[in-house]
Amino acid sequence: MPVGGNGEKADPNMPVAVWRERDSLSGEVVDAFVMVLRTSGCRWARGAGCTMCGYRRDTHPGVGPEHLRAQLKCALQRYGGEPIVKIYTSGSFLDPEEIPPDFAREVLSSFASTASRVLVESRPEYIADDALDMLSAFREKVWVAIGLESASDEVLQKCVNKGFTVDVYVEAARKLRSAGIPLKTYVLLKPPFLSEWMAVEDAVRTVEFAVEHSAEVSINPVNVQSGTLVEHLWRRGLYRPPWLWSVVEVLLRTHGKGRVVSYPTGGGKRRGAHNCGRCDGEVLRAIREYSLKGEADVFASLNCGCRERWRAIMEYGRVTLNSDDV
């Protein structure tokens, strides 16, 4: 159950949210414990920020080490020994300005004795020597997730405003691999300014690129978050979140190339990846089932009249643009 509130009025001693979800561990479906720490936020977001990210709403400028420890205490009271633990912030767990290194070690120590996997997130520029030394102490347990989003520097710059290049991601992946720390890579499906077809092609290429560096790749369809450029475009009818059929398409085209999953945030809602509304629940269930078990036959029975409309939209994008435009 979520705890905590939003923004500067929220209690800095309470995490943004704590909940449980299902995930896969060594081929077995298990429970995962998730906590979102309220921090001072992403350094990149304070200076510029990504076009689709509204997580700065969950930050608090006055959060200090004592508040973070109170949040951890709250989360630990709810932790039930789940074998997977996911620790999120509104930025980077490995940014020493956002998460003090001593507290980062405390968090990992708190869960590593019980959990089989502890996942943290970071931008690639914070995969530095000090961070690697800390992570190496938990080498058998800790995973790091990085949002690559796209393997195209042009998309990263013009559509996502990510603030780093693909080469920076590759170097971070190399460092993690050398340290024996598994990498999970996030791939963004349909950043602004890409058509549906262009978005699918870009996501497929990015997954194929990322699996060479990653233990797992997660396809994250854009959901429209408040206060973002994406929301500005969406409110003016200039952006539509991706179709769920597009998520299925990327999963099918990358099946067998590595462990690829997708858990669409806001799926089936106007602000999230959705189809016509009638088939959304069934398609989302198939996507979740595939992500847990990796069996592509879960998609075989899916059908709805809106799939033809999606195919027409994709075909229009294909014949009017070529792949060199992505």
Q: Is the pLDDT of residue 102 over 90?
A: yes
CA 135 – CA 54 distance, rounded (Å): 28
Among 89-93, 110-114, 308-312, 315-319, the minimum mean pLDDT is found in 315-319
Residue 57: the pLDDT is 86
Number of helices followed by number of strands (H, E) in the chain: 11, 8
Quick: pLDDT tens for 127-161.
999 999 999 999 889 999 999 999 999 999 999 99
* Domain limits, the chain: 1-121, 148-326
CB-based contacts of 33, cutoff 8 Å, min separation 6: 18, 20, 78, 79, 80, 82, 84, 85, 86, 115
Indicate the SS3 state at residue 120: strand
User: Is the whole model's pTM more than 0.85, yes or no?
Assistant: yes
* Residue 4 pLDDT exceeds 90: no
Strands 183-189 and 142-149: parallel
* pLDDT of the residue at 7: 56
Give the relative orientation of helices 101-112 and 65-78 as an angle to the nearest 10 degrees: 10
Task: Note the pLDDT of residue 140.
Answer: 87
pLDDT at 2 over 70: no
Instruction: Count other C-beta atoms under 10 Å from residue 288's C-beta.
Output: 18
pLDDT confidence of residue 139: 87
- The number of residues in the chain equals 326
**By three-state DSSP, how is residue 58 classified?**
helix
Q: What is the rounded distance in angstroms from the CA atom of residue 268 to the CA atom of residue 254?
A: 23
C-alpha distances in angstroms, 179 versus 132, 215, 299? 7, 14, 37
Q: Is the dihedral of CA 221, 225, 227, 231 positive or negative?
A: positive
Q: What is the pLDDT of residue 323?
A: 45
* CA-based end-to-end distance of the chain: 40
* Average pLDDT of the segment spanning 21-48: 95
What pLDDT shows up at residue 322?
Answer: 54
Rounded-to-integer distance, Cα 16 and Cα 89, Å:
9
More confident residue, 47 or 233: 233
Q: What whole-number distance in Å separates Cα of residue 94 and Cα of residue 109?
A: 15
Question: What count of other Cβ atoms lies within 10 Å of the Cβ of residue 138?
Answer: 18
Strand order in the sheet with 117-121: 17-25, 28-36, 84-88, 117-121, 142-149, 183-189, 216-221, 260-261
Least confident span in 56-60, 75-79, 189-193, 224-228: 56-60
Residue 8: the pLDDT is: 58
DSSP 8-state symbol, 61: T
Which pLDDT score is estimated for 3?
A: 39
Structure token digits, residue 323:
């792949």
Is 60 exceeded by the pLDDT of residue 286? Answer: yes
Please determine, for residue 319, whether its predicted confidence score (pLDDT) is greater than 80. Answer: no
In 3D, which of 170, 172, 184 has the Cα closest to residue 261? 184
- Residue 307, pLDDT > 60, answer yes
DSSP labels, 66-106: HHHHHHHHHHHHH----SEEEEE-SS-TT-TTTS-HHHHHH
Task: Tell me the pLDDT band of 261, cut-offs 50, 70 and 90.
Answer: very high
Q: Which two tokens stand for residue 174?
A: 């190399």
